[in-house]
């Protein structure tokens, strides 16, 4: 029996990396998948075909996560197209790193809007649907950086710490309607986001991780399947670290 058979999931920022890994794993578990992207149009179109080849319904939406009106339009379209929304994964995210001395207001605003405001946008737009259904699983992708901070990433760390507070608050607000809200805090995951880092830094991180390897999108996808499925039906308000023991 597949764990997400017949469920409808929306994954933001799924054209590559962790979001793509989650979308593919959800489809393997029988979920119909809606997803978003912003600039990677070809990758988005290719993902639709890949998801469909797993025997599920799939639709990709070009939608800016930081735009509130776009989120309302997105959720309405998904509910109309799929007839329900069971799982919402807020994954879209960016980095604009610099020391605070050199961080511009634009770098701050962009990261807060794409990483944090985006989650307000989709949750606000889908709450009525979840409450009417009396079921739903919201999964927000934060980071170990939101738990411990990181020099050069004050904007990113603030956005990710904000996600954890938001996740807990929504769990308290929607729990009585059987709507769960949890977060996943990845450690170092090998995607395009971390590709820009120099190999020495990356090797240093790998050596410092107790499990002695960088994580893969599939590692995060496995935790997302657990939180999306009924296996976690008594878990809400939590942040699960998937970091190979990096932050212990
Ligand atoms: P990635 O490879 O850079 O992928 C980011 C995804 O987000 C892409 O699909 C991108 O779509 C989408 N996106 C970016 N801005 C968007 C916007 N304004 N609207 C809609 N979609 C947007 O990054 P990743 O490593 O997979 O990271 C995914 C999430 O995990 C992020 O929230 C990140 O902070 C978090 N995370 C990553 C790591 C890591 O080590 N990689 C660790 C901890 C947490 P387009 O390409 O179409 O723009």
Q: Is 143 in the pocket of ligand 1 (CB under 6 A)?
A: yes
How do beta strands 136-141 and 32-37 pair?
A: unpaired
Q: Which of 165, 179, 180, 182 is nearest to 223 (CA)?
A: 182
CA–centroid distance, residue 102 to ligand 1 (Å):
23
Residue 172 scores a pLDDT above 90:
yes
Sign of CA dihedral 6, 238, 24, 69: positive
Residue 93 contacts residue 13 (beta carbons within 8 Å): yes
d(CA 19, CA 170): 22
Choice between 240 and 1, residue whose per-residue pLDDT is larger = 240
**Confidence band (pLDDT; 50, 70, 90) for 196?**
confident
List all residues 6 or more positions away from 233 whose beta carbon is below 8 Å from its beta carbon: 180
CA–centroid distance, residue 93 to ligand 1 (Å):
4
pLDDT score of 1: 86
Q: Is 65 in the pocket of ligand 1 (CB under 6 A)?
A: yes
pLDDT score of 191: 95
Partner residues linked to 217 by β-bridges: none
pTM for this one?
0.98
* Of the candidate ranges 126-135, 194-203, 209-218, the one whose mean pLDDT is the lowest: 194-203
Ligand 1 atom closest to the CA of 18, numbered from 1:
26
pLDDT digits (tens, 9 = 90+) for 158-169: 999 999 999 999
Q: For residues 51-83, b (16+ Cβ closer than 10 Å) or e, as one string? A: beebebebbbbebbbbbbebbeebbeebbeebe
Q: How many residues does the chain have?
A: 248
**Confidence band (pLDDT; 50, 70, 90) for 181?**
very high
pLDDT digits (tens, 9 = 90+) for 72-83: 999 999 999 999
Which domains are delineated in the chain?
8-240 (3.40.50.720)
Tell me whether residue 95 is exposed, middle or buried, using C-beta atoms within 10 angstroms of its C-beta: 0 to 12, 13 to 18, 19 or more.
buried
Residue 123 scores a pLDDT above 90:
yes
Ligand 1 atom closest to the CA of 20, numbered from 1:
9
């Amino acid at each position: 029996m597949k764990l997400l058979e017949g469920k409808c999931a929306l994954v933001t920022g799924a054209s590559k990396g962790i979001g793509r890994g989650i979308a593919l794993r959800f489809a393997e578990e029988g979920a119909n998948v809606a997803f978003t992207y912003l600039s990677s149009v070809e990758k988005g179109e290719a993902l639709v075909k890949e998801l469909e080849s797993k025997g599920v319904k799939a639709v990709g939406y070009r939608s800016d996560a930081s735009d509130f009106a776009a989120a309302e339009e997105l959720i309405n379209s998904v509910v109309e197209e799929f007839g329900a929304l069971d799982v919402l994964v807020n994954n879209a995210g960016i980095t604009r790193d610099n020391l605070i001395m050199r961080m511009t207001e634009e770098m701050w605003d962009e990261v807060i809007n794409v990483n944090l405001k985006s989650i307000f946008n989709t949750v606000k737009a889908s709450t009525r649907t979840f409450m009417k259904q009396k079921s739903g699983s919201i999964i927000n992708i934060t980071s170990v950086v939101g738990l411990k901070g990181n020099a050069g990433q004050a904007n990113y760390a603030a956005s990710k710490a904000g996600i954890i507070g938001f996740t807990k608050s929504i769990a308290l607000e929607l729990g009585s309607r059987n709507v769960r809200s949890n977060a996943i805090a990845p450690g170092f995951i090998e995607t395009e986001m971390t590709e820009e880092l120099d190999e020495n830094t990356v090797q240093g991180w790998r050596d410092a991780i107790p499990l002695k390897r960088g994580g893969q999108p599939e590692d995060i996808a496995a935790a997302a399947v657990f939180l999306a499925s009924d296996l976690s039906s008594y878990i809400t308000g939590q942040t699960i670290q998937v970091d190979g023991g990096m932050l212990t």
